[in-house]
Every structure is written in C-alpha cells, then in structure tokens.
Amino acid sequence: MAPAKQHPRVQLTQEAQTRDRMRAIAERPGHEVYEYAFDEPEVVLPAAEVERRVKGVRARALQLREADPGLGAAGIGEALKAERAAWAQLSRTHPRIFGACADPATSDAVLRNVYFMLWQRRRMEENLTTTDEANAAVMTKLLHECRREPTDEERVRLNLG
C-alpha cells in the first residue's frame, strides 16, 4: 500500500504579532506569512447598502468603459464619484472595494469574493453567524482559491515525495 500523501499544514491565527516576529517566522523554511490589512471606514454602512452601492458602481463602470474604451480605471472612478454622492462616500468608506468595482478589468472571481464578504457581513448583522465564523469562512474561501500544487523544489524541501 502506498504511503498517504503528505500536505503542508496550514495554521491560521488572529494573534497580534510584532513585525520582527512575523519576519522571523517568514524566514523559516516552509513558512509563508500573510499580512491582513483593511481600511477603517468613516461610517459603518449596513452590508445590504454597501452591496447595493457596489452593484451600482460596477454596472455604471462597465457602461462608462463601453461608452469610452480609452477611459482608464482612475478616470472611471473619478466620474463615478462625481456622479453620485453615495458612490463618493463608498470610495472613502470602502476604498479597496470601490476601486475593485470601479475598474472594469477586475475579474469576476474578485467580484465574487467581494460579494461573498458582503454576504458574510450581512449574516453577522442578522446574528446568523459570529464574527469569528464569518472571518473563518472568508479565509477558508480565499485560501482555497489561492492554493496551488507545490513546485518540485518545494516537494523536495518539504519532503512531500
């Protein structure tokens, strides 16, 4: 019988770590460290309202690109902010989400992740899930989408056969 295939362990933690400690962990063979960054919004909007605005921004961004194919993502973003105060506010309260949705080049996969995060947020607001459960669901989805087979070098280094 062939031995079971070994896989590297993935350990998620939300512990606060110092930058020096994170750097030391990243330097260990077989370890990768990811930094989670987020923007603190000026106003907390309900997830349903954010989603409504996001869908409006995306639809209008695609219309603007179709009307003027030479218009870049920055120009589209500026036009959207000038068009509606709610979209301008979204650009300040959720700049990364606004930027992704305002850029016609953003992939459907990225947009699905944005909608999944908003859905998890809405579930938290409705007390259908906890913050930890929602965060775990998002992290699991993102890690699943980012996974890849190890390279030959990694297989040797990690003794994966």
Percent residues over pLDDT 70 in the chain: 83
Residue 33 or 22, more confident: 22
Predicted confidence (pLDDT) per residue in 42-84, tens digit: 678 899 999 999 999 999 999 999 999 999 999 999 999 999 9
| pLDDT score for 78 | 97
Q: Hey, where are the domains in the chain?
A: 47-129
Predicted pLDDT of residue 36: 62
Which burial class, exposed, middle or buried, applies to 59 when counting CB atoms under 10 A from its CB (0-12, 13-18, 19+)? exposed
* pLDDT digits 0-9 by tens, 4-22: 444 455 455 555 567 777 7
pLDDT score of 16 = 55
pLDDT tens figures, 110-136: 999 999 999 999 999 999 999 999 999
Task: Check residue 7 and give its pLDDT.
Answer: 47
Tell me the residue type at 50: V
Q: What is the DSSP letter of 152?
A: H
Nearest Cα to Cα of residue 104 among 84, 86, 77: 77
Q: Are 90 and 56 in contact, with CB atoms under 8 Å apart?
A: no
The whole model's pTM is what? 0.66
Which phi-psi region, left, alpha or beta, contains residue 30 (left: φ > 0; alpha: ψ -120 to 50)? left
